[in-house]
Structure 1
Amino acid sequence: MSDYADPATSSLRLSDAERAQAVKRLDDARLAGRLDGAEYAKRAAQARNAVVRGDLAPLFTDLPSEPSESSRHEPWKPPARNSRALGGAVGATIMALVPFVALALFFLVGWAGGWGWSWVFFLLVPIAGIIIYGPGADERGRS
């Protein structure tokens, strides 16, 4: 944001966007603790009623020219997740579904043909885990 006290531009008329930008800058100063609520309200009203750039200069004489680093608000970003699963999120989803598939096959084969060997389908869980998360998973997680 350019300086409002610049004599070369102090007589230029303000746009609505410039007024809004000035109020935003005052709000940043309030959030940083440089202005209290009453002082902010007074200055924000004056900024909204300003006609030329020079009208805004007295509002910022005791404030830093740019907002400090602590008053800048950046949106929160979740930490990056590197899936170690083969196939990334698809592989992880498949691994989450394998126990349900094994359970369904256990009951289907058990009721249809006998329970003697239907337990074998539960071996799908560790086999899928070895394939999806097995050797090389550390290298996949780093890339």
Structure 2
Amino acid sequence: MTPQSYFEQAKRALHLPVETKLQSAYQFGVDATELAQLVLTGTKTATTSAYDLYETNEPLPQVGAYDVILDGQQNPVCVTKTDHVTIQPYLAVNAQHAFNEGEGDRSLSSWRRAHTTFFRQEYQTEGHQFNPQTAQMVLEQFHVVYPAK
């Protein structure tokens, strides 16, 4: 099933207006299937992306928007609704956000280790160097709306 057809199914089940749009369909991090399962179970309710790597006209996530979360094989797992979006320095990410990301032992130190490694690779892939002192991050909070629990 394509992400769009999955979203159409979710719209019908949730009785959303026909004009409701899908913001995006995406995978998380290095183990997309495991992270998608954390979202599905409600353990992962936040994510972080590098603001510095957004294209000039690329839209930021929007509060109230819907996304389809994909597993490692690009299969839809669930639909989320964005609750909160902020941009802040990498070093300002706090323990609550790290906990809400639901990964590892859910501590800030674990989050920093994993995300420093991840963002170094992401920045390098884009031809940039990751600097924790200056990097700006997009922090999102969301919840699963489909399938309903």
Fold conserved (TM > 0.5)? no
TM-score after normalising by structure 2: 0.20
Asked which structure has the greater CA Rg, the reply is 1
TM-score after normalising by structure 1: 0.20
Q: Which has the higher helix share?
A: 1
